[in-house]
Amino acid sequence: MYKKFRISLSEFDLNNHLLVLKEVYPWLKEVNAGALQQASRNLNKAFTNFFNFGFGYPQKKKKKDHHFSFQIPQHYSLDTSISKVLLPKFGWIKVKMHREISKGILKTITISRTPTGTISRTPTGKYYISFLTNDGEKLPEKQEFSHATLIGIDVGVTTFATLSTGEKIDNPKFLKNSLERLKCLQRRVSKKVKGSKNRRKAVYKLTKIHEKISNQRHDFQHKVSNRLISENQAIAVETLNIKGLKKNHKLAQVISDSAWYSFVLKLTYKAEWVGKTILKIGMFEPSSKTCNVCGYNLNELSLDVREWQCPDCKNTHDRDINAAINIKKIAVGTTV
């Protein structure tokens, strides 16, 4: 409606329109009404973010995209004694509990799918259900921090992250280490007849590797972010133009493999949980080519230069460590 007529519909209007859609598409009657209303709520929120907060225009869901989820806000039940959950329109379903549900009021549940098929539209993936509870507790207040308890982090390609303390965290490059296996499986998929059982088997093996890479990446980032949050009161990071950086085709693959945005996201929400602070500096700050000792700013510093000497104070800098120190200084407004 907005794209054609520039008319905005409220969440109330969208929910009323569901009655019309159910007559046009009878299969919608098979779906839980709460899940449909939640979809309207999500759409309304997406447009609110677009109009008021500068987010991108909401995108339509793609048929070939198996990354999907839906929420059930009410009329469900959980019985942990038998590891079963009652879902509207589905009935009781057996689940494998990964952890105990925290004490509190159960607010909503989300069912999502981790795909094991990116080519086939057949839903051969794993399904996950998450429980959102309200324990009534507020997030802790932000803890005070000093220059000594603040670290700067410079993320990179050669090393995953460099700290202002001088520590470097190696980039495990999970995708690069699995490329040969992926290429082999991709060739097998391309040789199979479309729609055949053998092709579905080949696709399944291929996507299992992708799933493993994703799990390895998340596990690595969780461990690193947990350690950094526990050891420091505040963390300073740089806002990165990842989309622009990916235009360099030589680095696009390793940038995607590093998943910097996902890492910063983990740092952010984990810091909120324990009252720590995340400071972000602008994406155009010359952190790499500014001397952290005297403040001299180089005109140019190509990516292949990993170490440079300041023409003014003659100090030699490791590119990444220098950037991490400057990120820390800029974040607290103490640049020289």
DSSP for 244-292, written as a single string: HHTTSTTTHHHHHHHTHHHHHHHHHHHHHHHT-EEEEE-TT---SSB-T
Dihedral sign computed on CA atoms, order 126, 131, 132, 135: negative
Annotated catalytic residue 13? no
Which one of 144, 154, 170, 312 is the catalytic residue? 154
Annotated catalytic residue 154? yes
Q: Which helix (H) or strand (E) holds 329?
A: helix 319-331
Q: How far apart are CA 149 and CA 207, in angstroms?
A: 42
| Cα dihedral 312→314→315→320 (10° resolution) | 70
Which one of 231, 238, 257, 304 is the catalytic residue? 238
Planar angle of CA 299, 302, 308, nearest 5 degrees: 75
Which one of 23, 135, 285, 320 is the catalytic residue? 320
Q: At 19, is the secondary structure helix, strand, or coil?
A: helix
CB atoms under 10 Å from CB of 172, counted, come to 15
Ramachandran angles phi, psi of 162, nearest 5°: -120, 130
Ramachandran angles phi, psi of 201, nearest 5°: -65, -40
Annotated catalytic residue 180? no
CA 217 to the chain's CA centroid = 11
Structural contact between residues 2 and 8, judged by C-beta atoms closer than 8 angstroms: yes
Q: Which helix (H) or strand (E) holds 86?
A: strand 84-87
Active-site residues, by number, are 154, 238, 320
